[in-house]
A = this chain, B = another copy of it.
């Protein structure tokens, strides 16, 4: 802006990812355009291509950097290790909801993604699984965690921060047309009677409780294999 073109080194991969994340947080997926990222760091749009080959690379690097912030420890029993990892990912994601949608689309090939896979293999080995079963199980855990988080994120395509959990459950409840828990006389009519009867639980799908319930079923299934 001040000076003329030339080798100025005003940019960093980090600075680009910071700007992309800020735009993602404020305006959702569609706000994270190359042009807006460039504007945010005060540079011409095409300058970004000096640091990343294309937009997918920027978003992929963003996802991998995010996964690098996740903390996990090997000190506890194997189930607790995996639960701890899953909860930590989910907690950190709640501050950056738009990143959750990117988790499924990026190719999962970054170094921090590999580190998480390695951690899962360790935990499952500690759980007594044979190497092949541990490998299959680690992928299952990833499918569950990423799937659950992406589905939660899909529920709130609107930009901005994720509303509090209680609010999101209330929104689901209203969307399903349930005011009272409807526990008295089950209205088993209409096209989808079971779905209507289950509405109170369905409203709870986006809750931490449902997330952990599902994870525990997955871990039960793995432990029994």
Contacts and interface: CB of A to CB of B under 8 A. Distances in A.
Interface centre among A56, A115, A135, A146 (most CB of B within 10 A): A135
A143 B137 contact: no
A56 B30 CA distance: 13
Contacts of A8: none
A144 interface: yes
A35 interface: no
Interface residues of A, number: 57
B210 A220 contact: no
Contacts of A111: 191
Contact of A146 (B106, B151, B210, B213): B151
A148 interface: yes
Interface stretch (A16-24, A38-46, A84-92, A197-205): A197-205
Given A139-B205, A139-B210, A198-B134, A154 B192 contact: no
Contacts of A117: 192, 195
B154 A106 contact: yes
A115 B136 CA distance: 31
A154 B205 CA distance: 24
A219 interface: yes
Interface stretch (A65-73, A75-83, A118-126, A163-171): A118-126
Please list the 3 inter-chain residue pairs (A to B) with the smallest Cβ-Cβ separation, ordered nearest first.
A147-B147, A221-B221, A217-B221
19 contacts: A56-B157, A101-B105, A104-B150, A107-B154, A108-B151, A121-B194, A122-B194, A131-B197, A135-B202, A136-B201, A138-B198, A143-B147, A143-B148, A146-B151, A150-B150, A217-B225, A218-B218, A219-B221, A220-B220
